[in-house]
């Protein structure tokens, strides 16, 4: 059984975050909150998202797993705007997933949740990390996108650098340690990532006070951040473009 009321902007943020990686997701609800883990079909990007039940306007939940198409959630959320309330109801095994947004009642057939397997998180020890303002990092990625599709992140004990080299052009956005909220670096590292995955995510973290970016030499990147007002925790993983030995 599930009966939840949420503000439109909270669920929108959840759906937008997951939508960067997948089209369908399994939502795991229990009395403590919502938890979702998704990986894209190429296994390049992964999101783990946790939202505490307390941040919803109402929460009556017995442990339930529901597979849903994100497009349908987004469409329904699009019928309202920030501040509107959306209610969701579902009885496992009985039938449709019901959503009410303003005057509209939408019934959605859930996907077979047993066929959607949340991935295990990769077991990685990140050798370097920076904590940076969301807007600062988003701006650096936007600048990088002017020149190419692949961004190189590099780090040493003193600096974190965002760099893109195109055929003729290049963009470099350096951040000295003093400009960052935190910088940890075991040994200097450089790794390259696809902007196709990073730039859409910057729309989610671009307004946040801080985001922690961790990576290593030719190593996956992880980003950790919280939704505004601590309304949800996001862990994002991205596999690197690897240079040949």
Partner 1 sequence: MGCNLKDLATSEDCELSDFSGKKVGIDAFLTAFQFLTTMRDRSTNGDGMPLRDNSGRYVAHLMGFLQRTCSLLKEGIIPVYIFDGKPPELKSHELEIRRSRRMESEEAYKHALEIGDYKEVHKLAARIMHYSPEMVQETKDMLDLLGVPWIDAKAEGEGQAAVMAKLGQLDVVATQDWDALLYGTPILVRNIMSHGTKKYGRVIKSQKINLEEMLANLAISQEQLVDLAIMIGTDFHPGVKGIGPKTGLKLIREYGTVEAVCEAKGKELPERLDEIREIFHNHPANQVDSSAIKLADVNREGLVKFLQEDRQFSQRRMDSAFADLKAAGRLRESGQSTLFSF
Q: Interface residues with partner 1 (CB under 8 A)?
A: 39, 42-46, 114-115, 117, 119-120, 122-124, 194, 218-220, 237-245
Question: Encoding tokens for residue 56?
Answer: 């919803």
Strand runs (DSSP E) across 55-148, as ranges? 58-61, 64-69, 85-90, 97-101, 104-108, 128-132
CB of 209: closest distance to partner 1 in angstroms?
Answer: 27
Per DSSP, the three-state class of 218 is: coil
Q: How many Å apart are CA 197 and CA 211, to the nearest integer?
A: 16
Per DSSP, the three-state class of 196 is: helix
Q: How many Å apart are CA 164 and CA 129, to the nearest integer?
A: 20
CB of 105: closest distance to partner 1 in angstroms?
Answer: 33
Q: Quick one: 85 or 124, whose CB is closer to partner 1?
A: 124
Q: Quick one: 124 or 161, whose CB is closer to partner 1?
A: 124
Q: Would you tell me how many other CB atoms lie within 10 Å of the CB of residue 108?
A: 18
Which are the contacts of 31, defined by CB distance < 8 A and separation ≥ 6? 53, 59, 61, 62, 63
- Cβ–Cβ < 8 Å for 222, 173: no
- Cβ–Cβ < 8 Å for 27, 66: yes
CB of 55: closest distance to partner 1 in angstroms?
Answer: 28
Q: Quick one: 166 or 174, whose CB is closer to partner 1?
A: 166
CB of 175: closest distance to partner 1 in angstroms?
Answer: 25
Q: Quick one: 54 or 242, whose CB is closer to partner 1?
A: 242
Is 100 buried (19+), middle (13-18) or exposed (0-12) by CB count in 10 A? middle
Q: Quick one: 67 or 206, whose CB is closer to partner 1?
A: 67
Q: Quick one: 120 or 229, whose CB is closer to partner 1?
A: 120
Q: Quick one: 42 or 229, whose CB is closer to partner 1?
A: 42
- CA nearest to 152, candidates 173, 126, 129: 173
CB of 148: closest distance to partner 1 in angstroms?
Answer: 15
CA angle 17, 53, 60 (to 5 degrees): 120
CB of 133: closest distance to partner 1 in angstroms?
Answer: 26
CB of 194: closest distance to partner 1 in angstroms?
Answer: 7
């Amino acid at each position: 059984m599930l009966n939840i009321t949420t503000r439109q902007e909270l669920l929108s943020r959840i759906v937008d975050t997951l939508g960067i990686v997948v089209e369908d997701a399994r939502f795991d609800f229990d009395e403590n909150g919502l938890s979702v883990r998704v990986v894209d079909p190429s296994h390049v990007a992964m999101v783990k998202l946790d939202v505490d039940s307390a941040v919803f306007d109402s929460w009556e939940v017995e442990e339930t797993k529901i597979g849903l198409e994100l497009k349908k959630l987004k469409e329904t959320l699009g019928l309202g705007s920030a501040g509107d309330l959306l209610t969701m109801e579902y009885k496992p095994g009985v039938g449709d997933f019901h959503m009410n947004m303003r005057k509209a009642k939408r019934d959605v057939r859930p996907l077979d949740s047993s066929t959607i397997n949340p991935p295990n998180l990769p077991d990685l020890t990140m050798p370097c990390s920076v904590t940076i303002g969301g807007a600062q990092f988003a701006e650096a990625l936007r600048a990088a996108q002017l020149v190419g599709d692949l961004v190189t992140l590099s780090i040493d004990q003193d600096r974190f650098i965002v760099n893109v080299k195109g055929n003729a052009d290049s963009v470099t956005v350096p951040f000295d340690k003093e400009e960052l909220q935190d910088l940890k670096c075991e040994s200097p590292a450089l790794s390259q990532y696809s902007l196709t995955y990073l730039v859409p995510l910057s729309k989610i973290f671009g307004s946040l006070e801080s985001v922690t970016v961790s990576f290593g030499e030719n190593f996956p990147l992880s980003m950790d951040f919280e939704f505004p007002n601590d309304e949800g925790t996001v862990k994002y993983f991205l596999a690197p473009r690897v240079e040949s030995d």
